[in-house]
Amino acid sequence: MAQIRLSGSGGQGVITAAIILAEAAVREGKEAVQSQSYGPEARGGASKAEVIISDQPIYHPKVLVPELVLALTQAAADKYSKDLAVGGTLVIDTDLVPNPPNFPNIISIPITKLAVDKIGKSLFANIVALGALVKITELVDFETIKKAVAQRVPPATIDRNMQALQVGYDAVTK
Amino acid sequence: MSEARLIQGNEACAQGALAAGVRFFGGYPITPSTEIAETMAQKLPGLGGKFIQMEDEIASMGVVLGAVLAGQKALTATSGPGFSLKQELIGFAACAEIPIVIVNVQRVGPSTGQPTSPAQGDVMQARWGTHGDHPMIALSPWTVREAYDATILAVNYSERFRTPVILLMDEIVGHLREKVVLPELKDIEIYPRRVPKITRAEGYEPYRPDEDMVPNVADFGQGYHIHVTGLIHDETGFPSGSPKVTEDAIRRMHEKIMHVQDEITHFEEFFMEDAQYAVVAYGGTARTAYEAVRTAREHGLKVGMVRLMTIWPFADKIIKKTAKQVKAILVPELNYGQLVGEVERAAGGSARVKLLAKYNTEIFTPQELVEAIENLCAGVDE
């Protein structure tokens, strides 16, 4: 069972990214649940989305000990990385999390900057992040996440979203 | 079977309503139920149905009752504050015998409470939110697939008994997305709108009960004269001040549902064969309870679980049977203690009943429930 948490501020698309990750897992025949919590605001505020992927039916629907936390803001990094598993991974946006929490395994990627520089809009940061997460976790095939993204985003943006996935994937050196 | 998809509980509810033949939605958006309205707004126009956002929840309740009387199956969805506003017309629907499903995706209350946080605090409001003696059917699903199935069942029960039915969802299931395989439409049983069996010339009266105690009230526009009122009425549908008419009307209102209480109280048992202790849970909380019971079993504790899907009418029979089998029953609820009183009543002293209440916006963790089960088995707090 894999427990993943994606966090940021409202409007950064972490919930969408979490839904796409869970959809990709379902495409591969796995069990998956996705849930979220967010403040009353539509934009801003802390936003958290969680995905559990398993080969067995999933009952308790919330992440208890995340193996990976993605944080796209400083506030999210501070708030949502505290219960990370020993040996887990914290993935942060280099520029938006200037003061990384004290955690041994941090992967810092300029996610939003890559979205702006390579795709032209910060809007694609969540998909860049998704590409990176798939490379890091190997939870689903890269081809599967491509299909899941293509199905979820507006048709006119598919090409740029595919580029965003690739940019995120290539940003992780293994 | 269709292919597996990731679907949200609220969306599954809306899809279930459409599968059950609902073609009218009137509502006013409120978190955490809004996705039901969104899905209905997307799908209904393409199916020849109507979606209307009203000025508030009271008007939303009125407009769906109007749609039902005009021949449509209808749905409305809301959360705590809106559920409070709908109560008066829920009573009207009970008295005038108008089939309608009201979805309440519960959140923390009272009042505006905690808008996006889970709770199970409307269990008693679902039963007694509207005034006066009336029966109530309330269903509480625990999975996304069951949100679909329970919505169909709710629509079917509302039509069969001509009564309001509450789909008592919670934020946990409403906002959860999970892998679901939905059934083929052709495999779904639909209870059709009841229709008059005789003509006016043959002596049709709209509120004369059929053999199952439920009247075949004609829809408006079918050529019958119909009078709909929230006053106690006789078989003609017109008000009557007679003590006998009143007594008969109120008794029939209850009996038309309670004579099939066992048939409509749906539940599941897990690990109960040799259980000496039991957890009784419902809705999203049952998911965590199931995991905790399984863990406690691995620890060697003889604990089982009864998961209630029908909340009202209460599943007296299975709780009575469970209480006779076990030494103690744990009832975890995301409220200050509501359904636990019904469990105690049905247990009738045969087993110790212990409440585990939580009302801080967070759901139970499996560990909390495992500890509560361990304490239950050890007789702590006895």
Tally Cβ neighbours within 10 Å of residue B128.
13
Q: In whole angstroms, give the CA distance from residue B370 to residue B289.
A: 8
In a 3-state reduction of DSSP, which class is residue A9?
strand
The stretch A49-67 carries a mean pLDDT of: 97
Class of domain A2-170: alpha beta
Q: What is the pLDDT of residue B116?
A: 83
Reading the block at residue A174, the tokens are 């293994």
Continuous segment of H or E residues that includes residue B91: helix B80-96
Give chain B's domains with CATH numbers: 5-187 (3.40.50.970), 267-378 (3.40.50.920)
CB contact under 8 A, A34 and B363: no
Q: What is the pLDDT of residue A10?
A: 85
CB A24 within 8 A of CB A145: yes
Q: In whole angstroms, give the CA distance from residue B309 to residue B282.
A: 6
Residue B261: partners with Cβ closer than 8 Å, 6 or more residues away: B313, B316, B317
Length of chain A: 174
Q: In whole angstroms, give the CA distance from residue B376 to residue B303.
A: 10
Closest CA–CA distance from residue A96 to any residue of chain B (Å): 26
CB B195 within 8 A of CB B189: no
CB contact under 8 A, A39 and B116: yes
In a 3-state reduction of DSSP, which class is residue B97?
coil
What pLDDT digit, counting tens, does each position of A97-152 carry?
999 999 999 999 999 999 999 999 999 999 999 999 999 999 999 999 999 999 99
Cα B218-B224-B229 angle, rounded to 5 deg: 65
Q: What is the pLDDT of residue B115?
A: 86
Low-confidence ranges of chain B (pLDDT < 70): 1-2, 381-382
CB contact under 8 A, B178 and A60: no
Q: Is the pLDDT of residue A94 over 80?
A: yes
| Partner residue facing B291 (CB), from A23, A30, A60 | A60
Closest CA to B13 of B177, B193, B191, B257: B177
Closest CA to A66 of A110, A114, A15, A6: A6
Q: What is the pLDDT of residue B382?
A: 58
Q: In whole angstroms, give the CA distance from residue A52 to residue A33.
A: 5
Q: Under an 8 Å CB criterion, which residues of B touch A? A: 4-6, 31, 115-117, 172, 175-179, 284, 287-288, 290-291, 363, 365-366
Closest CA–CA distance from residue B335 to any residue of chain A (Å): 18
Residue B291: partners with Cβ closer than 8 Å, 6 or more residues away: A59, A60, B366, B369
- DSSP of B264-289, one letter per residue? H--EEEES-TT-SEEEEEETTHHHHH
Q: In whole angstroms, give the CA distance from residue A80 to residue A36.
A: 12
Alpha helices for chain A (secondary structure H): 14-27, 74-80, 111-114, 125-137, 142-152, 158-170
Q: What is the pLDDT of residue A49?
A: 96
Closest CA–CA distance from residue A136 to any residue of chain B (Å): 23
Q: How confident is the model at residue A46 (pLDDT cuts 50, 70, 90)?
A: confident
Q: What is the pLDDT of residue B161?
A: 98
Pairing of the two strands A44-54 and A2-10? antiparallel
The model carries a pTM of 0.96
> Tokens 């679980």 belong to which residue?
B305
Q: In whole angstroms, give the CA distance from residue A171 to residue B115.
A: 38
Closest CA to B301 of B323, B279, B334, B333: B279
Reduced DSSP (H G I as helix, E B as strand, rest coil) percent helix, strand, coil of chain A, to 5: 40, 25, 35
| Partner residue facing B6 (CB), from A19, A36, A64 | A19
Tell me the sheet residues that pair with B336. none
Q: What is the pLDDT of residue A43?
A: 59
Reduced DSSP (H G I as helix, E B as strand, rest coil) percent helix, strand, coil of chain B, to 5: 40, 20, 40
Q: Is the pLDDT of residue A53 over 70?
A: yes
Q: At what angle do helices B285-298 and B366-378 cross, to 10 degrees?
A: 60
CB B373 within 8 A of CB B301: yes
Of chain A, the end-to-end C-alpha distance in Å amounts to: 22
CB A86 within 8 A of CB A95: no
In chain A, residues with a C-beta closer than 8 Å to the C-beta of B176 are: 33-35, 61
Buried b / exposed e across B342-371, counting CB within 10 Å, b at 16+? bbbebbeebbbbbbbebbebebbbbebbbe
In chain B, residues with a C-beta closer than 8 Å to the C-beta of A58 are: 178
What pLDDT digit, counting tens, does each position of B37-70 carry?
999 999 999 999 999 999 999 999 999 999 999 9
Single-letter amino acid, residue B222 = Q
Q: What is the Cα gyration radius of chain A?
A: 15
Q: How confident is the model at residue A40 (pLDDT cuts 50, 70, 90)?
A: low
In chain B, residues with a C-beta closer than 8 Å to the C-beta of A60 are: 287-288, 291, 365-366
Single-letter amino acid, residue B195 = V
Q: What is the pLDDT of residue A47?
A: 87
Single-letter amino acid, residue A137 = T
Reading the block at residue A147, the tokens are 């299909």
- DSSP of B61-83, one letter per residue? HHHHHHHHHTT-EEEEEE-HHHH
Length of chain B: 382
Q: What is the pLDDT of residue A174?
A: 73
Tally Cβ neighbours within 10 Å of residue B110.
11
What pLDDT digit, counting tens, does each position of B217-270 carry?
999 999 999 999 999 999 999 999 999 999 999 999 999 999 999 999 999 999
Tell me the sheet residues that pair with B51. B25
Q: Is the pLDDT of residue A44 over 80?
A: no
CB B93 within 8 A of CB B121: no
Tally Cβ neighbours within 10 Å of residue B233.
21
CB contact under 8 A, B178 and A32: yes
In chain A, residues with a C-beta closer than 8 Å to the C-beta of B360 are: none
